[in-house]
């Protein structure tokens, strides 16, 4: 015992923090816990926490378990094949990601989609935003042991997944956004179905508030837990609803409008408290705003083409026939060797979890020379290191759930 205590004195405080087996101030051993990577709730990441009693003194997020090397893969693929590639990591809101990639590509090519395509893209992006928030809230609910919220979240999400299916022909991975437009026009029954779903969701949100947000147990678990102050949020470069819950009014849809967002009527919900409850509240309010956006977009939907005329001109007679009869775009074979001019382009979008940035370096060949992509979860993962220490171990799931962190999206 004596020998070990001398050894401990020789270790500087800084080193204790970086050693696997540290000690507390009273001379007791810190316990290192490994949460994940196969934890049923934590998804595909490992969180290493060092606890003193049940207070977390250090937290080290270990990510990369679902690292798919998308940036490297895209260097070996033609531009069109990267469209489904960027959808894979962020399965819950795939459309914003494809919009970002396509926007960067369109900037390189110097084309802009027709207005109707912009509106269709916006509607699908908002549908997936609602679905993504419902998923996040469902996961938070099951973390807190509120299994009704989990079932409701996933059940209500089904509606929006089904609507996306009607519009794009796929439930999750749409690949709906293509250079110069979208793949297909909306079916005639679509606006009515959307209106039905939106009305249901508005009714349902009142129940959600009753059973989840105003539930005293949920309030106790979330209020004043995981407080992120405005200054820290800005300093750490946090993004999305997590940023807005800390009182920073920043949303790419307003700050740097893309697609049809500058013509649509909506608000950006902001909360001041910065705790887990505020983050959840902001997500609920964003669902309401997404409902407004979809309604407004359907009302203002312009008629006309859904693909850029420059691309439509390359259609062969059969493609033209399909396009005119069924309003579906078949891509000309020349896109297999699509060569955007030399240069660089940057685009950013507001995905469900925050800002995603896309940067393409083109050298004039059919494949991107370098494709850089940062996702909101990737930028938010730093919070695990700086926000969690000081909390009780039992608060970890609540904070994790309130961040709506999605490991595959962070790893890319």
Partner 1 sequence: MASQQPQASQQRLALGKALEELATRLSEHLKGVATKVEADKRSMVINIEVDRSRILEAAKILSSLGFDHVKSLTGVDYPDKGVIELMVHIGSYSRGLRRIMAILRSKLDRKDPRAPTLTQIWPSSEFQEREAWEMFGIVFEGHPDLRRLLLPEEFEGLWPGRKDFEIPTRKAGEAEEPWK
**Positions that interact with partner 1 (CB under 8 A):** 63-64, 67, 69, 71-72, 75-78, 81, 104, 107, 115, 234-237, 243, 248-250, 255-256, 262-263, 302, 336-337, 344-348, 355, 357, 359, 361, 366-367, 369-370, 372, 374, 378-379, 381-382, 411
The residue among 183 and 379 lying less far from partner 1, judged by its C-beta, is: 379
| Residue 144: CB minimum distance to partner 1, A | 27
| Residue 383: CB minimum distance to partner 1, A | 10
The residue among 109 and 186 lying less far from partner 1, judged by its C-beta, is: 109
The residue among 143 and 250 lying less far from partner 1, judged by its C-beta, is: 250
| Residue 236: CB minimum distance to partner 1, A | 5
Per the CB < 8 A criterion, the answer to whether 314 and 332 are in contact is yes
The Cα–Cα gap between 92 and 2 comes to: 55
Task: Check the CA dihedral 234-360-68-161 and report its sign.
Answer: positive
- Listed residue (16, 290, 267, 245) closest to 126, CA to CA: 290
| Residue 316: CB minimum distance to partner 1, A | 17
The Cα–Cα gap between 102 and 180 comes to: 8
| Residue 352: CB minimum distance to partner 1, A | 18
The residue among 162 and 344 lying less far from partner 1, judged by its C-beta, is: 344
The residue among 172 and 234 lying less far from partner 1, judged by its C-beta, is: 234
The residue among 191 and 257 lying less far from partner 1, judged by its C-beta, is: 257
| Residue 344: CB minimum distance to partner 1, A | 8
The residue among 109 and 141 lying less far from partner 1, judged by its C-beta, is: 109
| Residue 204: CB minimum distance to partner 1, A | 33
| Residue 28: CB minimum distance to partner 1, A | 25
The residue among 47 and 161 lying less far from partner 1, judged by its C-beta, is: 47
The Cα–Cα gap between 392 and 394 comes to: 5
The residue among 135 and 371 lying less far from partner 1, judged by its C-beta, is: 371
| Residue 161: CB minimum distance to partner 1, A | 29
The residue among 204 and 372 lying less far from partner 1, judged by its C-beta, is: 372
The Cα–Cα gap between 183 and 169 comes to: 10
| Residue 220: CB minimum distance to partner 1, A | 31
The residue among 147 and 316 lying less far from partner 1, judged by its C-beta, is: 316
| Residue 412: CB minimum distance to partner 1, A | 8
HEC assignment per residue over the chain: CHHHHHHHHHCCHHHHHHCCCCECCCCCECEEEEECCCCCCCCCCEEEEEEECCEEEEEEEECCCCCCCHHHHHHCCCHHHHHHHHHCCCCCCHHHHHHHHHHHHHHHHCCCCCHHHHHHHHHHHHHHHHHHHHHHHHHHHHHCCCHHHHHHHHHHHHHHHHHHHHHHCCCCCCCCEECCEECECCCCCHHHHHHHHHHHHHHHHHHHHHHHHCCHHHHHHHCCCCCCCHHHHHHCCCCCHHHHCCCCCCCHHHHCCCCCHHHCCCCCCCCCCCCHHHHHHHHHHHHHHHHHHHHHHHHHCCCCCCECHHHHCCCCHHHHHHHHHHCECCCCHHHHHCCCCCEEEEEEEEECCEEEEEEEEECCCCCCCEEEEECHHHHHCHHHHHHCCCCEHHHHHHHHHHHCCCHHHHHC
What does the block give as tokens for 39? 């934890």
């Amino acid at each position: 015992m004596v020998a070990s205590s001398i050894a401990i004195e020789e270790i500087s405080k800084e080193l204790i923090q970086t050693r696997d087996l540290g000690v507390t101030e009273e001379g007791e051993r810190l316990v290192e816990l490994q949460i994940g990577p196969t934890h049923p709730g934590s998804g595909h990441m490992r969180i290493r926490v060092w606890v003193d009693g049940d207070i977390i003194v250090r937290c080290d997020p270990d990510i990369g378990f679902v690292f798919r090397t998308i940036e490297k893969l895209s260097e070996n693929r033609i531009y069109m094949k990267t469209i489904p590639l960027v959808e894979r990591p962020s399965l819950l809101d795939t459309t914003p990601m494809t919009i970002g990639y396509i926007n960067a590509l369109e900037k390189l090519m110097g084309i802009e989609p027709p207005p109707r395509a912009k509106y269709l893209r916006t509607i699908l992006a908002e549908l997936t935003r609602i679905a993504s928030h419902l998923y996040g809230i469902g996961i938070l609910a099951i973390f807190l042991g509120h299994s009704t919220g989990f079932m409701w979240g996933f059940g209500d999400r089904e509606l929006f997944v089904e609507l996306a299916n009607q519009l794009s022909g796929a439930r999750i991975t749409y690949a709906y956004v293509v250079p110069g437009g979208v793949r297909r026009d909306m079916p005639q029954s679509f606006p009515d179905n959307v209106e039905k779903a939106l009305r249901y969701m508005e009714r349902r949100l009142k129940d959600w508030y009753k059973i989840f947000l105003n539930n005293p147990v949920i309030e106790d678990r979330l209020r004043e837990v995981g407080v992120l102050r405005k200054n820290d949020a800005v300093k750490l470069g946090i993004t999305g609803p997590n940023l807005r819950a800390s009182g920073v009014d920043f949303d790419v849809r307003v700050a740097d409008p893309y697609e049809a967002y500058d013509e649509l009527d909506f608000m950006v919900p902001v909360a001041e408290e910065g705790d887990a409850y505020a983050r959840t509240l902001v997500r609920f309010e964003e669902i309401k705003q997404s409902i407004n956006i979809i309604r407004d977009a359907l009302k203002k939907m312009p008629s006309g083409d859904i693909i850029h005329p420059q691309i439509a001109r390359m259609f062969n007679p059969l493609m033209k026939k399909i396009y005119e009869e069924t309003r579906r775009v078949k891509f000309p074979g020349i896109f297999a060797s699509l060569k955007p001019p030399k240069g660089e382009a940057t685009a950013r979008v507001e995905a469900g979890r925050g800002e995603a940035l896309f940067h393409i370096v083109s050298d004039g060949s059919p494949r991107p020379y370098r494709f850089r992509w940062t996702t909101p979860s990737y930028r938010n993962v730093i919070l695990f290191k700086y926000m969690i220490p000081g909390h009780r171990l039992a608060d970890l799931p609540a904070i994790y759930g309130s961040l709506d962190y999605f490991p595959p999206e962070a790893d890319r």
